[in-house]
Amino acid sequence: MNIEMQIKKLYAFDAALCLRITDAVWVLFLLNRGFSLAQVGMAEGIYHVISMFCEVPSGMAADLFGRKRTLVFSGLLGMVSSLFMCLDAGFLGVCAGMAFSALSLNLMSGTEEAILYDSLLSAGEEERFGKTLARLSMIGRVGSALGCLASPMAVALGYKGTYLFSTCLYFISAVTAAGVAEPIVTERQRKRQEHPLQGIGKRFRQHIGESAQFIRSHPKVICKLFANGAIGCPVYLTVMFLQEHLTALGWPAAWIGVPLLVMRLFGTVGVWLGSREGKSRNKGKKGNRIQAKGAAGCKNEGRQQGKMGLAKCLTVCGLVSGVGALMAGSPWITVIVPGAMLLQASEGFAQIRVDENVNRDFESDQRATMVSIDSMLYSVLMIAVSPAVGKLGDWYGTWAGFTLLGTALAAGSLGMGALYSLYQRKSLGNEVKGNCEKNI
C-alpha cells in the first residue's frame, strides 16, 4: 500500500462529501415548502433515531465486511437520500430522505477513521494519526464552509436543483471510495477480505462479545465519547436553527451562507489548535509520579506535564460552548455570530483531542465499531434536544431553545468537571495513602 496515495484518496473522499450546498439552506427550503419549525425538528429527530439504532451496527458492518465496501455503500445511500429530498412526497418523503441520510453518515462515520488509523498502523506510521486526522477534519469543515458560501447558488437553483447537485457529489464520493485500499493489520482482517461472508454468524457473535467486553472494561472511554457528543449538540443545532433566526432578524436569505461560513471556519481553527495542543502534550507528558517517603513524611510528588489534560479540556470546552449557545440565542447579530464561532471552535478543539486519545485504546478488529459509539451517543442526545429546541422556537422564539441549550451545557460541564476533580483527588489520596502504608 502506498500510504501517501491512500491518505490523498481519503482527503478527496472527504472533500467530495462535504462540498454539499444543502447544509446551509435545507431548513429554509423546508420552511418555504410549508413545513413548520416543529416539523423540521421532528425530521432532525428522525435522523438521529435512525443514527442511534444503526450507528453501532454500521460500525460492525465495516469491521466484519470491510471498510472500503462500507464507504462505497455510504455514498450510494447518500444519493438515495438526496433523490428523496427532491420529491414532492410531503413530510413522509422528507423523513425518508433524512433516514437515508442518517444511514449514509452512519456507514461513513467510524469507517473512514478506522481506515486511516489501520493504514498508518500497517505502514508503521501510526504516530501521524493525530496530524492526519486533523487535516481530514479541516478539509471537511472548510468544504462545509464553502458549501455555506454557495447558498446564493442554492437559492437560485431551488431545492430540486440543489439536491440533484448533492446527488452528484455523493456519486463522486462513492467512486473515490472505490479506489481506496483496504488496510490489513490482523489475521482476522485478512480472512475477512478473502472470504467476507465465511462464518459470518460466528464472527458476528464474537465481535459483539469482544465489543461489549471492551465497553465494560473501559468506562472512562465511554465517558469521553459522551462528553464529546454533548459538546457537539448545540453546534449542529446552531447551523440548523440560525438559518431561521438570522433571516427573522433581517439577514438576507440569499446570503445566509456568509455567517455560516465564518462559523464553520472557526471550527477549523479549533481543530488546528486541538491538534497543536495535543502534539505539545504528547511530547511533554510524563504522567503522574508518586513517591512515598516514610510514615511521617509522605509527599505527593504527582506531576502531570503538558498544557491541558483531556478532562479539563472537555470541561472548559463545554463551558465555552454553553456561553456560545446563550450568545447565539440573542436578538443581536453582532452577538449571535461570535457566539456561534465560540461553539464551533470549542467543538473542533474537543473533537480532535478526544478522537486522538480514544483511538490509542481501540483494537483494530473493533475500531470502526468503537468509533461509531461516539456518533451513537451524540444521536441519543440529539433525539431529545432537537425536537425540544424546535418546539420552543415555535412557541417562544429561537432564543428560548438556545437559552435552554446553553444553560444546560454550561451547568452540566461545571458540575461534571467538579465531580471528576473530586474523584481524582480521592483516588490520588487513596493511592498515596496506600503507598505510605507499604513503607511503614
Architecture of domain 7-179+201-287+308-438: Up-down Bundle (1.20)
Report the SS3 class of residue 409: helix
Highest mean pLDDT among 167-181, 232-246, 250-264: 167-181
Question: Could you tell me how many residues make up the chain?
Answer: 440
Give the least confident one: 64-68, 71-75, 231-235, 268-272. Answer: 231-235
- pLDDT greater than 80 at residue 400: no
Q: Judge contact between 39 and 91, C-beta under 8 A.
A: yes
Its pTM surpasses 0.85: no
Q: Where do the domains of the chain lie? A: 7-179+201-287+308-438
User: Taking residues 93-113, what's their average pLDDT?
Assistant: 88
Give the least confident one: 71-75, 165-169, 212-216, 236-240. Answer: 236-240
Per the model's pLDDT, the better-predicted residue between 185 and 99 turns out to be 99
Mark out the alpha helices in 19-66 (DSSP H runs): 26-32, 37-65
Q: Judge contact between 232 and 137, C-beta under 8 A.
A: no
- pLDDT greater than 50 at residue 75: yes
User: Taking residues 93-122, what's their average pLDDT?
Assistant: 88
Cα–Cα dist 338/324, whole Å: 8
User: Taking residues 123-135, what's their average pLDDT?
Assistant: 85
Cα–Cα dist 97/44, whole Å: 11
Give 154-174 pLDDT, tens digit per residue: 777 888 888 888 899 899 999
- State which amino acid sits at residue 29: F
Sequence-distant (6+) residues with CB within 8 A of 349 are 270, 271, 273, 274, 277, 313, 317
User: Taking residues 202-224, what's their average pLDDT?
Assistant: 80
- pLDDT greater than 70 at residue 437: no
Q: Judge contact between 79 and 174, C-beta under 8 A.
A: yes
Give 273-325 pLDDT, tens digit per residue: 887 765 555 554 444 433 333 333 333 333 333 445 777 888 888 888 888 88
3-state helix, strand, coil in the chain (%, to 5): 80, 0, 15
Q: Which residue bears the cell 490520588?
A: 428
Cα–Cα dist 26/187, whole Å: 45
Residue 428 Cα distances to 12, 217, 421, angstroms: 47, 21, 10
Give 10-61 pLDDT, tens digit per residue: 999 988 887 777 776 788 788 888 888 778 878 877 887 887 788 788 888 8
